[in-house]
Amino acid sequence: MDEPLEYCVYYEKDTEEILDFFPTGVNPDTRNTVITFWEQDIPRKILKAVSEEPLTMQELRKRIGHSNSTLHENVKKLEEADMIRTSIVYEKNKIRTLTPRFLFVTKAPRFKSSVQKFFQGLWVNSKANDTVIDFLTKNKQDFWTAEEIAAKTNLTVDEVELVLSNWDSQVTRALSDFMKKKPFEKKTLYRGI
């Protein structure tokens, strides 16, 4: 993504209930705006779709399946609320690309997350592992947060964090292939709030 995202919104995959915001000190008016749009079907679909990748209006229409007028109306409202950004490029035609200001990612419920963490380090070779490693291999020119990887792979943040932390476990690496080399470079970033 070209610009760093300002906020991350975690939601439960099955119920689509908002679980948390990051950073935690999000302005109450901003929180209320996010919740208001999230509770509406079409804006929620738009926000989820552009969290996966920037999309043109045509790509968005194919992805969520509504008419141009309905999408334009909802995109305009999301822009006015400063929840998404649009950029326009002229290549033969006018191409309008939508990018998120908020990254919406799934997070496992607390119980499931605690069970996953209990078993952390016991396996590496899983479908989630393959998905994360394939994504990182295909996009090796950039560093990615666990949230960005989750949004782009449709895994929960917890699954991504578990896969990545398993590679830090000597036990896991020894059990999978004797001290298998990590298939990615790790870089931890911090910022004051």
* pLDDT of 33: 94
pTM of the complete model: 0.67
Considering the chain, what percentage of its residues have pLDDT values greater than 90?
24
* Token pair of 58 as six digits: 């045509």
* pLDDT of 26: 82
pLDDT of residue 181 exceeding 70: no
pLDDT of residue 150 exceeding 70: yes
Rounded distance between C-alpha atoms, residue 68 and residue 78, angstroms: 15
- Enter the CATH code of domain 7-103: 1.10.10.10
Q: Average per-residue pLDDT in the chain?
A: 78
Ordered by start, the domain boundaries in the chain are 7-103, 108-176
Nearest to 154 by CA among 105, 193, 108, 118: 105
* pLDDT of 110: 52
* pLDDT of 24: 76
Chain segment 54-105, per-residue pLDDT in tens: 899 899 999 998 888 999 999 999 999 999 998 888 777 878 889 888 888 8
pLDDT of residue 176 exceeding 80: no
Taking residues 105-110, report their average pLDDT.
69
User: 65-74, 115-124, 149-158, 181-190: which has the minimum mean pLDDT?
Assistant: 115-124
The CA distances from residue 99 to 15, 122, 178, in Å, are 24, 37, 42
* pLDDT of 1: 39
